[in-house]
Structure 1
Amino acid sequence: MMYDEKLDPIGPREARDDYLKERQEDASFETLRTIRKGLNLFVEWCVEKGIGNMNDVRGRQLNKFKNWCKDTSDNSTVSLNGILSVLRRFLVYCVRIEAVASGTPDKTPIPNVPDDEDVNYEKPTDEEVEAARKYLETYESASRRHVEYRIVEEIGCRVGAVRAIDVGDVNLEDRVIRFRHRPEKDHPEEKGTPLKNGTDGERDVNIPTELAELIGEYLQNPGRHDVTDRYGREPLLTTKYGRPDTDTIRRDLYKLTRPCVHSNSCPHDRDTDACEAVDNENASKCPSSHSPHPLRRYSIESQIDRGVAKELLTDRVDVSVPVLNKHYDTRSKDRKRKHRLKVYEKLFDGYGDQSETLNANQIAEVLIDEDGMIDPQALLRLQSDEGTPETASGSDGEVTSEITEIVGSGDETTETQEPTEESDDDQLSLSEFGGGPTAVFGPGTVAAAGAAALGSQTAGRLHRELEAMSPGENGITT
């Protein structure tokens, strides 16, 4: 690093404010809030250490700041990584305005995050979800909190997406909720109702009759505030002041999910008269209470566990398949193998129960469309627990399978069982099915067709995920 390069003096606070103004042009409200939080810590540290000029910030000071963050807070490795990543990008800006030496950003000591450390497996149990649901049905039926809880539990959406729903986004007759990105970019200091992935996160989601009826009852509830937000829109969820903030919804769930509220018991043997978490303001301090995200995890994992195809689930919950695999699919390898076996059992002789295997006529009728091509949706339905593909549901959130585990896996030989002695004259053998002039299609064709059918759905999202994990400007990782 060149220590004699010409630098222009500027204070940490002024540099931070200038940087935040610049980032308003490209950053979302939530990103700006994250940046501001991280840089406020850095400015606080500079004031404490008497650093009034960014010119004096070098590698040694950055290392001391990292240690200060570790010693003065309970930041995890993931949180510390985020703070220092924000600082590093800020320092890149400072190099550009000649406030710090050119090599300073590369000296930011960003800790490595182990592969599994950024995965949070916290989620409520089936019993806890059922207890909370019964409490709401009994004591807070058709309330705002009742609707908030059931939407997250049923769909698995983020709290920001729940907050963003307008009355006009709900079609009770067709049982559909529309999620739309409305960031109010003309007012960067105001949040609006953005979706995490912007317009890419927009989607229409099917909901069950019970949830549609609940929303209808809530809209007719005399206790609901019939108000508009600051932009003149009609939010579905309301307070007397307008649309609730995400923190308000989080507090709603923290308060609800305390066991002493919905079950009149404390699994932590605390005296409820002395427990600080009994106070609604301190509800998050209860070890068993949780925010909306663990409930979102519960919903997504439940849908995966019931066999919902990840290629369908990815748009429903606005998460890519790689993220679903890393953060939400906690099934054992043996359970995944059994799910894959359901497809092979229906397609090939000698796998599982031969009575479940489709004959040539059934395959042609069920899997081949009018153009003589494989119907990818029918292929997805082969893994359904409902039996033959004719009876499997094809609606959003109901089709059950995992095409990524069905095709191209290359490890299915371990699942082969001994074929039975009985045979069916109309039944294609494994070799007849996958090869020869009379073959319908082979495993390779299944893989190619499945990949082609799903490619248009997943390519864009995968691109965004890889871009997010790739080094950005001057090697900075988002």
Structure 2
Amino acid sequence: MTELEALQPAEAVEMYLTDKDTEYTEATLDSHRRRIKWFRRWFDTETEYDYLRELSGLDLHQFRVWRQGDLAPVTLKTQMDTVRVFLYWCRNIDAVSQDLPEKCESPRVSGDQNQRSDMLPVDRVEHIIDYLSRFHHASVQHVLWVLLWRTGIRVGAARAIDIEDYYPDEQYVQINHRPDEDTPLKNQYRGERPVSLRPDTCEVLDDYIRHNRHEVRDEYDRRPLFTSRQGRRAISNLREIMYRWSRPCRVGRDCPHGRDPDTCDANKSTNVASQCPSSKACHAMRRSSITHHLRQDVPVPVLSDRMNVSADVLDDHYDQRTEREKMEVRREYLDWD
């Protein structure tokens, strides 16, 4: 089997447009650029992937669902057709799996699913973190949930953190882009930044480092924050932790789907936790965290810098507040007394 190239969407799109420059008219190129732009935006905001090679048929289905709420069926078909052409080109340069383009189907519009509304309610997050604090205090799963919820960082950024990037006295972590050492950031060097931590978050981190972290180094002789006995935890393992602990039955609650946990297919092993209808992916946690901070009146520029997302993308894809909630926040800033 051919080893797939580590190619990010932005680079692939530019290569594709350059390659098609002599084949397509300028108007056609502009149309392709505009349509694929939405695929890039979805990749950047709705997934935790770094490279195109990580995409699956399920991901392409989720992209289609993500777009269908905004477009007429004929427009959506045109957009999916263009993305398929782009993926065929990516296949030819070994950037995606051989069968991926065929899985990019033009849609039959049905249902009302929309990935952008995929969130974890605040009370569920707080219950999960409280459960982990009581029964799995300072474990890997406890630290991951606390860190992602309170900072809103991407799971790839969390995985990239080394012990040396954590400053307990100053109460912050430094996020660094190290692509040559298997810890790239979504936005590359533009994603590098210090992220402040709450005192109680530092307490959990300190307990984890002191008692539960495996004192190992990765293949680059770095000391990861999130470790297994073998080294730095894989991104897939961290994603599984989010799926696993977002299942209601895992944290002491009844199954909202009427299933018996002892016989439920989504409870047979950790790698099938995502099959639970109530389980949530990492991007749902990120969206929930951002929206929660907005509801707490944190200014958009502060969130934009802290969570490494532009104000426009934040407003379009992460802000799940109602118009009434936005009005009440604005009211707080208006002095009518």
Check the 8 A contact 1:183/1:194 in 2, yes or no.
yes
Check the 8 A contact 1:238/1:244 in 2, yes or no.
yes
Superposed displacement of residue 205, structure 1 = 0.8
Provide, for residues 34-59 of structure 1, a one-character-per-residue CA deviation record: whole Å limited to 9, x for no partner: 47x68xx9xxxxxxxxxxxxxxxxxx
Counterpart position of 2:31 = none
Counterpart position of 1:327 = 317
- Residues 1:263 and 2:244 are matched in the alignment: no
- Residues 1:318 and 2:273 are matched in the alignment: no
* Aligned partner (choices 238, 244, 247) of residue 249 of structure 1: 238
Q: Residues 435-454 of structure 1: matches in 2 within 5 Å?
A: none
Please give the alpha-carbon distance, in whole angstroms, between the structure 2 residues aligned to 1:239 and 1:138. Answer: 22
Counterpart position of 1:165 = 161
Q: Residues 71-90 of structure 1: matches in 2 within 5 Å?
A: 76-77=64-65, 85=83, 87-88=85-86, 90=88
Q: Residues 204-353 of structure 1: matches in 2 within 5 Å?
A: 204-221=194-211, 223-281=212-270, 282-345=272-335, 351=336
Superposed displacement of residue 276, structure 1 = 1.0
Counterpart position of 1:460 = none
Provide, for residues 203-237 of structure 1, a one-character-per-residue CA deviation record: whole Å limited to 9, x for no partner: 1011100001111111111x421111111111001
Please give the alpha-carbon distance, in whole angstroms, between the structure 2 residues aligned to 1:319 and 1:344. Answer: 27
Question: Which secondary structure does the structure 1 equivalent of 2:173 belong to?
Answer: strand
What TM-score do you get using the length of structure 2 for normalisation? 0.72
- Residues 1:30 and 2:47 are matched in the alignment: no
Please give the alpha-carbon distance, in whole angstroms, between the structure 2 residues aligned to 1:262 and 1:250. Answer: 17
Check the 8 A contact 2:64/2:107 in 1, yes or no.
no
Question: Which secondary structure does the structure 2 equivalent of 1:30 belong to?
Answer: coil
Relative distance call for 1:23 and 1:244 in structure 2 (3 A) is: closer
Superposed displacement of residue 110, structure 1 = 7.2
Please give the alpha-carbon distance, in whole angstroms, between the structure 2 residues aligned to 1:288 and 1:92. Answer: 34
Superposed displacement of residue 22, structure 1 = 10
Check the 8 A contact 1:85/1:110 in 2, yes or no.
no
| Higher helix proportion (structure 1 or 2) | 2
Provide, for residues 268-306 of structure 1, a one-character-per-residue CA deviation record: whole Å limited to 9, x for no partner: 111222211222232111111112221111111000011
Please give the alpha-carbon distance, in whole angstroms, between the structure 2 residues aligned to 1:82 and 1:145. Answer: 37
Relative distance call for 1:131 and 1:343 in structure 2 (3 A) is: closer
Superposed displacement of residue 337, structure 1 = 2.6
Please give the alpha-carbon distance, in whole angstroms, between the structure 2 residues aligned to 1:236 and 1:92. Answer: 34
Structure 2 runs not aligned, ≥5 long: 13-48, 68-76, 93-103
Relative distance call for 1:263 and 1:316 in structure 2 (3 A) is: same
Question: Which secondary structure does the structure 2 equivalent of 1:220 belong to?
Answer: helix
* Higher Cα Rg, which structure: 1
Relative distance call for 1:220 and 1:248 in structure 2 (3 A) is: same
Q: Residues 89-238 of structure 1: matches in 2 within 5 Å?
A: 90-91=88-89, 119-184=115-180, 192-221=182-211, 223-238=212-227
Relative distance call for 1:273 and 1:117 in structure 2 (3 A) is: closer
Amino acid aligned to 1:263: G
Check the 8 A contact 2:295/2:329 in 1, yes or no.
no
Provide, for residues 118-168 of structure 1, a one-character-per-residue CA deviation record: whole Å limited to 9, x for no partner: 752111222211221121111110111111110001011111011010101
Check the 8 A contact 2:62/2:115 in 1, yes or no.
no
- When structure 1 is superposed on structure 2, of 279-288 and 310-319 the one drifting more is 279-288
Question: Which secondary structure does the structure 1 equivalent of 2:117 belong to?
Answer: coil
Superposed displacement of residue 112, structure 1 = 12
Question: Which secondary structure does the structure 2 equivalent of 1:336 belong to?
Answer: helix
Question: Which secondary structure does the structure 2 equivalent of 1:151 belong to?
Answer: helix
Check the 8 A contact 1:181/1:201 in 2, yes or no.
yes
Relative distance call for 1:166 and 1:33 in structure 2 (3 A) is: same
Please give the alpha-carbon distance, in whole angstroms, between the structure 2 residues aligned to 1:22 and 1:171. Answer: 32
Check the 8 A contact 1:84/1:110 in 2, yes or no.
no
Count of residue pairs the alignment pairs up: 277
Relative distance call for 1:289 and 1:32 in structure 2 (3 A) is: closer
Please give the alpha-carbon distance, in whole angstroms, between the structure 1 residues aligned to 2:259 and 2:108. Answer: 38
Greater relative contact order, per chain length (Cα 8 Å cut-off, separation 6+): 2
Please give the alpha-carbon distance, in whole angstroms, between the structure 1 residues aligned to 2:285 and 2:65. Answer: 24
Please give the alpha-carbon distance, in whole angstroms, between the structure 2 residues aligned to 1:205 and 1:21. Answer: 31
Relative distance call for 1:92 and 1:181 in structure 2 (3 A) is: closer
Structure 1 runs not aligned, ≥5 long: 1-12, 42-68, 95-107, 185-190, 346-350, 355-478
Provide, for residues 160-212 of structure 1, a one-character-per-residue CA deviation record: whole Å limited to 9, x for no partner: 0110101011100010111010011xxxxxx7101100000111011100001
Relative distance call for 1:248 and 1:83 in structure 2 (3 A) is: farther
Identity between Structure 1 and Structure 2 (%): 33
Q: Residues 364-383 of structure 1: matches in 2 within 5 Å?
A: none
Amino acid aligned to 2:177: H
Superposed displacement of residue 240, structure 1 = 0.8
Relative distance call for 1:112 and 1:275 in structure 2 (3 A) is: closer
Amino acid aligned to 1:255: R
